[in-house]
Structure 1
Amino acid sequence: MSAIMLERLWNAFLDTSLMVGVSASLAALFGIPLAVLLVATAPGGIREAPRLNAVVGALVNGFRATPFIVLLVALIPLTRLLAGTTIGVWAAIVPLTISATPFLARIAEVSIREVDRGLVEAAQAMGCRRWHIVRHVLLPEALPGIVGGLTITVVTMIGASAMAGAVGAGGLGDMAIRYGYQRFDTVVMIAVIVVLIAMVMTVQFAGDRTVRALRAR
């Protein structure tokens, strides 16, 4: 590869890292509270609200069931409203975040549900408020599972960001299509694939190490 292509590969890597990093942070910011809401309002939860739980659950399932490429196109008006454009890195962050949030919420919900019910009942017996139960019991006990779920989410988002790049979002997907596929440059295509694999392996390794450290505490 020429020096120019290496520079473009580096810039594409940075764009993909930015897309995934910001989207993953926003997905965690919205997805974890959403998971807590689903658990708390479920039958037998610390704040039962079956109707609210059913509505929120239906919305989460609806977004999860929508393929990312369809969601990418359907959210173009919202993307234009929030990002001011429908192409580029920041435009891709909107559908990436909306796609990843319900995905992470369901994984985090499973982890929170697996917290020993006895711990929750003990906290309630001591007069703890619902917020204290969430903050000091549910989230700390479920943290390893949530981190594991976030790792899976980020890995999925790396693939989704490449798909978004193919429709004008920039990043590694855009480079693979523009310079690898359209120009029949196998070297560029292989280089992009290697970088994507390296990103996935790095994220998975870091996530696994973090989960093991949390469980060892």
Structure 2
Amino acid sequence: MSANLINMLMEATWQTIYMVVVSAMLGTLGGLPIGVFLACSQKGELLSAPWVNKVLGIIVNATRSVPFIILVVAIIPFTRIVAGTSIGTTAAIVPLTIAAVPFIARLIENAIREVDSGLIEAARSMGATPMQIIRKVLIPEALSGITLGLTLAVVSLLGYSAMVGAVGGEGLGDLGIRYGYQRFMPEVMGLVVLILIVLVQLVQTIGEWIARRVDKRAPSNRGA
């Protein structure tokens, strides 16, 4: 293996990590409040606003329904406005974030809905406000599920980051397409796939470890 190929693989790996980390952070910042609101705003719930919940749910579902590769192309004008260009690593963060927000929102909503309703009623009986219940009961109790959800989101973003290579993004996907496919270098494609597998396994292992550490329902797992 040539030194040039090693350098290209290292650079592409760091570009992929950069895209995924930044888009995951931005996606969480956007998806967390949306997910919490969706979980708490149906009729009779803490933040009861059924019509807003329904409209927001439709928007989230519509965004999630768009295939990622089509989303990337469809929002090129918006990407240019935000990033100043539609190609490159920074530009790829825009569609990655837009795809991540509704996905993370639904994962967080599902995690919060799994919290025992008895805990909510107990907090209400003690005079806690809706925001106090959300901050001190729902999110802490759902933290393990939220962590597993975010782990799944990061794994999905790794796959998406490879797809943006087909439309001008950088990273491992771009390297695999330009060299592995277009220049008929199967060894490059194989190495790209191997690195992506390692990254996915690493993310999954770390995510599951953190989830066990923060799981209040299984304190005995904390030392695992």
Residues in 1 aligned to 2:17 and 2:111: alpha-carbon distance in whole angstroms: 27
- CA deviation after TM superposition for structure 1 residue 126, in Å: 1.1
Residues in 1 aligned to 2:2 and 2:183: alpha-carbon distance in whole angstroms: 15
1:115 correspondence with 2:120: no
Residues in 2 aligned to 1:11 and 1:61: alpha-carbon distance in whole angstroms: 35
Q: How does 1:83-94 map to 2 (within 5 A)?
A: 83-94=83-94
Residues in 2 aligned to 1:2 and 1:87: alpha-carbon distance in whole angstroms: 27
Q: How does 1:107-146 map to 2 (within 5 A)?
A: 107-146=107-146
- CA deviation after TM superposition for structure 1 residue 124, in Å: 1.1
Residues in 2 aligned to 1:124 and 1:165: alpha-carbon distance in whole angstroms: 50
Residues in 1 aligned to 2:190 and 2:158: alpha-carbon distance in whole angstroms: 16
- CA deviation after TM superposition for structure 1 residue 43, in Å: 2.1
CA RMSD, aligned part only? 0.8
Q: For each residue in 1:117-157, what CA deviation from the matched residue of structure 2 results, as whole angstroms up to 9, or x when unmatched?
A: 11111111111111111100010000000000000000010
Equivalent in the alignment of 2:184: 184
Residues in 2 aligned to 1:94 and 1:42: alpha-carbon distance in whole angstroms: 30
Equivalent in the alignment of 2:48: 48
- CA deviation after TM superposition for structure 1 residue 47, in Å: 1.5
Equivalent in the alignment of 1:26: 26
Larger helix proportion of the pair: 1
**Which one-letter code corresponds to 1:157 in the other structure?**
L
Equivalent in the alignment of 1:11: 11
Equivalent in the alignment of 1:158: 158
Residues in 2 aligned to 1:21 and 1:166: alpha-carbon distance in whole angstroms: 20
Equivalent in the alignment of 2:222: none
Residues in 2 aligned to 1:86 and 1:45: alpha-carbon distance in whole angstroms: 42
DSSP-derived class of the 1:169 partner: coil
Structure 1 segments, 4+ long, off by >4 Å, are none
Residues in 2 aligned to 1:127 and 1:73: alpha-carbon distance in whole angstroms: 50
**Which one-letter code corresponds to 1:161 in the other structure?**
S
DSSP-derived class of the 1:190 partner: helix
Residues in 1 aligned to 2:202 and 2:180: alpha-carbon distance in whole angstroms: 24
- CA deviation after TM superposition for structure 1 residue 44, in Å: 2.9
Q: For each residue in 1:154-192, what CA deviation from the matched residue of structure 2 results, as whole angstroms up to 9, or x when unmatched?
A: 001000000001211100000000011011001111110
Residues in 2 aligned to 1:50 and 1:213: alpha-carbon distance in whole angstroms: 35
**Which one-letter code corresponds to 2:159 in the other structure?**
G
Equivalent in the alignment of 1:214: 214
Equivalent in the alignment of 1:103: 103
Residues in 2 aligned to 1:32 and 1:7: alpha-carbon distance in whole angstroms: 37
Long gaps (5+) in structure 2: 220-224
Residues in 2 aligned to 1:178 and 1:68: alpha-carbon distance in whole angstroms: 20
- CA deviation after TM superposition for structure 1 residue 110, in Å: 0.7
Aligned length: 217
Residues in 2 aligned to 1:199 and 1:44: alpha-carbon distance in whole angstroms: 43
Give the share of equivalent positions with the same residue, in percent.
52
**Which one-letter code corresponds to 2:172 in the other structure?**
L
**Which one-letter code corresponds to 1:119 in the other structure?**
L
